[in-house]
Amino acid sequence: MKKEQFLLLCRTNPEEVFKLVTTMGETISALMAQVETLNNQVDALKVEIKELKARLDKNSRNSNKPPSTDEFIKPKSQRKKSGKKTGGQKGHKGHTMKMSQTPDEIIIHKTKDCQDCGHRLDGINHDSVERRQVFDLPSLKIFVTEHRSETVTCPCCGKKNKAGFPEGVTQNVQYCNNLRALLVYLNQYQLVPYNRAAEFIEDICGCSLSEATIYNAIEATYEQLGPVETEIINRLVGSDVVNVDESGGRVEAKRQWLHVASTPTLTHYKWHPKRGHVATDEIGILPQIEGILVHDYWKPFYKYSCGHSLVTSTILES
């Protein structure tokens, strides 16, 4: 509306002008209230963003968070380029291979004829011997041993006598200890996945096996190591000083905690969904210890009435 039109309306219809002004005032009040609400929301979001940034900036170096929570943080390398070429450096003392005093195989190479006159040299004692040794791996292949149990009828009394099979040979066809040990080593120690461990055995040994076979080998080993774990726990409980700690990690894509109790010669690991005393109570080692616990001041450890010694870590920056 132009100025002239508004002035004319004021002279000719002041009531309509009053309604118009009143409506505009209500609209302005509503807009001002909305602006105030939006400003409050912006202020709250600023505070939340600041808190989230501070939380993201926290890691094991500047807070009490465990190193396992640093998984989304790419630390800056403290290493500096040396400028040296890859490989052994000039002046570095090398490690020369030494001859074995007990070679697995000795192959004698003889000269049959004289290289000058052609005289036969069979039966003539040698003057000297030069030795050279080659270190290599034998071809890996599955070695199949067939056990046959014979049944013999006694000619005197007629009883049938059946020979027994060796201990551990319980199935018609089965894998034995060395192969199972290799499967457990690849998967549990070298962290090779099931499918790649099976692929390795097929490529190197020419034997096709299933992932279930690897799983069963691990389960059987776990059962066999039960007495060993019990002995480790008993010795830890009886130790004068035990180091304890916990570290977070992923188990089947879920956060869990690896609890550690150790001495210079013994180590016990146990995964648990909890980090605090609920886990250590269930694991059962700490409640029995009467010596000294060495830890990093994680408060749940103080639930136990044994002695306590604190350890701190210092980060040195060059």
The phi-psi region of residue 158 (left if phi > 0; otherwise alpha if psi is between -120 and 50; otherwise beta) is left
pLDDT of residue 162: 95
Q: What is the percent of the chain with per-residue pLDDT over 90, rounded to a whole number? A: 59
pLDDT of residue 186: 96
Euclidean distance between CA atoms 288 and 290, whole angstroms: 6
In 59-190, the DSSP E strands lie at 151-153, 160-162
pLDDT of residue 4: 79
Residue 315 has pLDDT above 60, yes or no: no
pLDDT of residue 144: 93
Euclidean distance between CA atoms 222 and 215, whole angstroms: 11
Residue 124 has pLDDT above 50, yes or no: yes
| pLDDT classification of 317: cutoffs 50, 70, 90 | very low
CA distances, 215 to each of 110, 118, 188, 201 (Å): 52, 65, 11, 14
| pLDDT classification of 183: cutoffs 50, 70, 90 | very high
Residue 78 has pLDDT above 80, yes or no: no
pLDDT of residue 157: 94
| pLDDT classification of 11: cutoffs 50, 70, 90 | confident
- Say which residue, 198 or 59, is predicted with more confidence: 198
Going edge to edge, which strands form the sheet with 254-262?
Answer: 267-272, 254-262, 241-251, 292-295, 307-310
Euclidean distance between CA atoms 213 and 190, whole angstroms: 18
Tell me if residue 238 falls in helix, strand or coil. coil
pLDDT of residue 77: 63
pLDDT of residue 54: 82
The phi-psi region of residue 134 (left if phi > 0; otherwise alpha if psi is between -120 and 50; otherwise beta) is beta
| pLDDT classification of 69: cutoffs 50, 70, 90 | low
In the predicted model, what is the mean pLDDT of residues 192-207?
A: 93
pTM over 0.75: no
pLDDT of residue 249: 86
| pLDDT classification of 316: cutoffs 50, 70, 90 | very low
pLDDT of residue 1: 66
Give the residue from 43, 52, 209, 221 showing the smallest Cα distance to 142: 209
- Across 75-109, b (16+ Cβ under 10 Å) vs e yields eeeeeeeeeeeeeeeeeeeeeeeeeeeeeeeeeee
Q: What is the percent of the chain with per-residue pLDDT over 70, rounded to a whole number? A: 89
pLDDT in tens, 132-151: 999 998 888 889 999 999 99
The phi-psi region of residue 36 (left if phi > 0; otherwise alpha if psi is between -120 and 50; otherwise beta) is alpha
Least confident interval from 16-25, 28-37, 159-168: 16-25
Least confident interval from 12-16, 78-82, 102-106, 238-242: 78-82
- Please name the residue ranges forming H helices in the chain: 3-12, 14-57, 177-184, 194-205, 211-224, 226-237, 277-283
Residue 219 has pLDDT above 70, yes or no: yes
Residue ranges and CATH numbers for the domains of the chain are: 172-223 (no CATH), 236-310 (3.30.420.10)
The phi-psi region of residue 168 (left if phi > 0; otherwise alpha if psi is between -120 and 50; otherwise beta) is left
Decide if 183 contacts 213 (C-beta within 8 A).
yes
Residue 63 has pLDDT above 50, yes or no: yes
- Say which residue, 77 or 167, is predicted with more confidence: 167
Euclidean distance between CA atoms 293 and 299, whole angstroms: 12
Residue 73 has pLDDT above 80, yes or no: no
Average pLDDT over the chain, rounded to whole?
87
pLDDT in tens, 255-300: 999 999 999 999 999 999 999 999 999 999 999 999 999 999 889 9
CA distances, 131 to each of 13, 60, 112, 136 (Å): 125, 57, 19, 16
